[in-house]
Amino acid sequence: MYGLAIVHCGPRRGSEKHGPGDGNRGPPGFGPRPHGPKNQWETKVCANASIAEAFLEQTRQLITDLQANGTYDKVLEKRQNEINYINNANNTGVLSSNCTQFFTGLNAARTLDRQAQEQEWSIQRTAGRLFFQIIQSLVGGKAQDSSEGDA
């Protein structure tokens, strides 16, 4: 009897969680994604210079704390553009002089991270299909739904 190796290639597109309560607010990440209308929280941060400064200081401190704990290495690796943007000293001035532009840049950095993650998922899916093709070429058959169990 033959066993079928199941290769998990990451979540299906659109099935990944996006933060507490889920929703389609962008890529999952450690960066702020509060509930509410899109960009509403950014508008509130930008409306008060003290809050904007506290946002940046506390976010940078959180990044430093997470970097000190090896448990978060893989998560941080997948958010490298976002981290670099937040930690870039030049962006401190952007936040205080043009807060909206700061968040536009932050969202662009997150988009780059999301695109890299999507490319990684695509590569993982391709690898999974290639592994399955080996099994299929040896024993034949169609792709089996993992909920059906082994044959």
Q: What is the pLDDT of residues 4-22, one digit of tens each?
A: 333 333 444 444 444 444 4
Distance from C-alpha of 66 to C-alpha of 46, rounded to nearest angstrom:
25
Q: What is the pLDDT of residues 55-83, one digit of tens each?
A: 999 999 999 999 999 999 999 999 999 99
Q: What is the pLDDT of residues 125-136, one digit of tens each?
A: 999 999 999 999
Output the six-digit token pair for 71.
Answer: 């448990």
According to DSSP, residue 11 is labeled P
Distance from C-alpha of 3 to C-alpha of 150, rounded to nearest angstrom:
6
pTM of the model: 0.64
Task: Kindly state the helix (H) or strand (E) to which residue 59 belongs, with its residue range.
Answer: helix 49-67
Distance from C-alpha of 126 to C-alpha of 131, rounded to nearest angstrom:
9
Radius of gyration over alpha carbons of the chain, in Å? 21
